[in-house]
Amino acid sequence: MTALRSEVNADVPVARPGEFAPLVIGDMVVDPPVVLAPMAGITNAPFRSLCRRFSQDRCLYVSEMITARAFVEGHARTLQLASFGDDEKTRRSIQLYGTNPETLAQAARTLAEEWGVHHIDMNFGCPVRKVTASGGGAAIPVKPGLLRRIVRSVVKSAGEVPVTIKFRKGIDASLLTYLEAGRIGEGEGARAVALHARTAAQLYSGQADWSAITTLKETVKTIPVLGNGDIFEPWDALRMLRETGCDGVVVGRGCLGRPWLFGELCAALTGEEPQSPPDLGAVLDTMTTHAELLCAFFGEKHGMQQLRKFTGWYLKGFPGTKKKLPALHLVKTLDEMKALIADLPRDVPYPEVALRARRCKDGKTQEVSLPQGFLEARDEDLVIDDPEHVDGG
Ligand SMILES: Cc1cc2nc3c(=O)[nH]c(=O)nc-3n(C[C@H](O)[C@H](O)[C@H](O)COP(=O)(O)O)c2cc1C
């Protein structure tokens, strides 16, 4: 049976044999070249575990952003979010966020030498007001000297552990920094660069500008270039790889409430027709597994609190399930959740409308907040103290 596809992907063929090379980042070989995007509040160990299961552990699964200062100071919640599940023996991947090269270097050293991570990604794309207003995340590429200094010190401290950087196109249409950021990453020893093809002002609105990925690929020649933005179906990944020539894809919102997307991506990128998405019964089973993993990792109270935000994403588009959401958004225990979904029918096919439905972040744009005077002195690489802890995106 052919898999469900939306209209935009009606004619996209699966990969030809050998069409896409594995993604090589340091010692890591990721085959097919698919990466779970770091997402704050989402890509903790339980969610990564779920995505690993659906893709036979073949992709790269990056943690949510971990604030370097909170990590170095040993904040309990940060240490928990930075930790890995028992099933994460290979390709342990963590994203660091911070603005101070020394603090970031210290965090990288500890992660490499004591925590046994295999990959460190760095966040230079977070558009959250609190973050950019203090000169972090998407604001950092505005200061090429600071970006250079941060990447250099983290690469040095991480030793053999490969470091990659992730950034956006720039602040807004009038201040595009991605090509310079790519060159800096390449020059300072990053092992790959990833572009979310929107500006910070765009947040998550409109369509990602894949042509910027093409331009970055033409600019950064010696390390892999990863494309990111608007991969909701496996065929979107095929189109992005083919249209931009990028070396791998980074997948964010498309897998929210759809962790099986990684299995579909593995199939399509290796020349197989993906299976059709699960029916409601199988979706409910996946949601239950996710809840069990969250409870085992965070304890039942916090685990079920975490699960609540996923319930609407899992049930998206299935007729007759909306009435369950108010109770599911308040659910406190695993048994309560199981009882709430017990009377839902199982034999309901996956709704096409759910494939590309907006799952997180609305279509708004913003005027990006930067520290005062930040734009006047772009080549002054002043260091602003790291915030204690940030939940971002
Ligand atoms: C809920 C949420 C949290 C995010 N948190 C992070 C983060 O911690 N670090 C980061 O680099 N990007 C973060 N992002 C951005 C994603 O990694 C990705 O770049 C973005 O969602 C675009 O990809 P997509 O179109 O596949 O969703 C976040 C996105 C979402 C939706």
Please check whether residue 99 is in contact with residue 388, taking contact to mean a CB–CB distance below 8 angstroms: no
> Ligand 1 test: best mutation among 39, 240, 360, 391, most atoms within 8 Å of CB?
39
Report the CATH architecture of 16-269. Answer: Alpha-Beta Barrel (3.20)
Query: Is residue 159 left, alpha or beta, with left meaning phi > 0 and alpha meaning psi from -120 to 50?
Result: left
386-to-5, 102, 292, 391 alpha-carbon distances in Å = 44, 10, 35, 13
Residue 383 has pLDDT above 80, yes or no: no
Confidence of residue 393 (pLDDT cuts 50, 70, 90): very low
What is the CA(1)–ligand 1 centre distance, in A?
33
Q: Higher-confidence residue: 103 or 379? A: 103
Confidence of residue 349 (pLDDT cuts 50, 70, 90): very high
User: What type of residue sits at position 25?
Assistant: I
At residue 387, the pLDDT reads: 61
Per-residue pLDDT tens digits for 196-233: 999 999 999 999 999 999 999 999 999 999 999 999 99
Tokens found for residue 72: 């170095």
Q: Which of 59, 196, 240 has the most ligand 1 atoms within 8 A of CB, as the residue to mutate?
A: 196
**CATH 1.10.1200.80 domain position(s) in the chain:** 280-347
pLDDT at 124 over 80: yes
CATH of the domain spanning 280-347, picked from 3.40.50.620, 3.30.70.100, 1.10.1200.80, 1.10.940.10:
1.10.1200.80
Both tokens assigned to 78: 């940060």
Q: What is the pTM of this model?
A: 0.97
Tokens of 360: 């997180």
Confidence at residue 315, expressed as pLDDT on a 0 to 100 scale: 98
Catalytic annotation present for 266: no
pLDDT digits (tens, 9 = 90+) for 45-94: 999 999 999 999 999 999 999 999 999 999 999 999 999 999 999 999 99
Instruction: CATH 3.20.20.70 in the chain: give the residue spans.
Output: 16-269
CB of 48 within 8 A of CB of 262? no
pLDDT at 390 over 60: no
